[in-house]
With several copies, the nearest count.
Chain A
Amino acid sequence: MQLNIKYFGLIAELTTCNEETLEFSEATIADLKEVLVEKYPELKTKDFQIAQNKEIVSSNAIVSGEEIAILPPFSGG
């Protein structure tokens, strides 16, 4: 499946893009993390969360193909 992935803040700086489309054939968010870390090895040392359809999801959640975003620690306010 084609996944559209958004990157923010520190993570976007590291991937050098705000958004990209990746081919994904596995099942879970944990699998997606592995795919991302393989593409961007620096991610391994960074703290990030994954949102799917605008909700933070845990590693064992299933990737549904809805809007995915990779989010560094929040620093609003």
Chain B
Amino acid sequence: MSDKKPKNVFVEGPITSEFIGNSIAKHQTKTSIGAHNIFLGQVRADDIEGKVVSAIDYTAYEDMANEKFHEIREATFDKFNLTCMHIYHSLGKVKVGEICLFVFVSSPRRKEVFKALEYVVEEIKAKAPVFGKEIFEDETHQWKENT
């Protein structure tokens, strides 16, 4: 279903595997769904010139980001035959190995979910004003840029 009012996509801290499992469970009453596709962004222990990332600290221009997430959501429902769609993004500190982005799309048919999920993830990366500060093990940091 497509709502008309922007929802809050942000959650404080990492997105847990239990939260994701529960979200899957909630969709088992929707018997028109034949295919789910889930994207999870996980914080990588990147080695940048000898320093290893230990966490990413996320901040966002929240009002604008929620509006952009809403626009992405509406555009995705217009383009693809989806039954439902959910986006969750972390704010604050997310350690390596923890999940910072959870995108969940469901449809009667599998072809739709593949196209829709990639579209949503690329749109989020390009349009949502979210900023990740990569914190190294020695407490120094650098600002991440999406590629």
Contact = CB atoms under 8 A, between A and B. Distances in A.
Touching in the complex, A and B, CB below 8 A?
A: yes
A72 B131 contact: yes
B107 to A, nearest CB: 14
Contact of B61 (A13, A51, A73): A51
A37 interface: no
Contacts of A73: 143, 145-146
Contact of A6 (B61, B89, B127, B130): B61
Contact of B130 (A10, A13, A69, A74): A74
B113 to A, nearest CB: 13
Given A6-B61, A54-B64, A76 B132 contact: yes
A68 B121 CA distance: 26
Looking at A9, A71, A72, A77, which has the most chain B CB atoms within 10 Å of its CB?
A: A77
Contacts, number: 70
Bin chain B's interface residue count. Answer: 20 to 34
B33 interface: no
A69 B64 contact: yes
Interface string B105-136: 00000100000000001001111111111000
Interface of A: 6, 8-10, 13, 51, 54-55, 69, 71-77
10 contacts: A8-B131, A9-B131, A13-B143, A51-B129, A72-B143, A73-B143, A74-B146, A75-B144, A76-B128, A77-B100
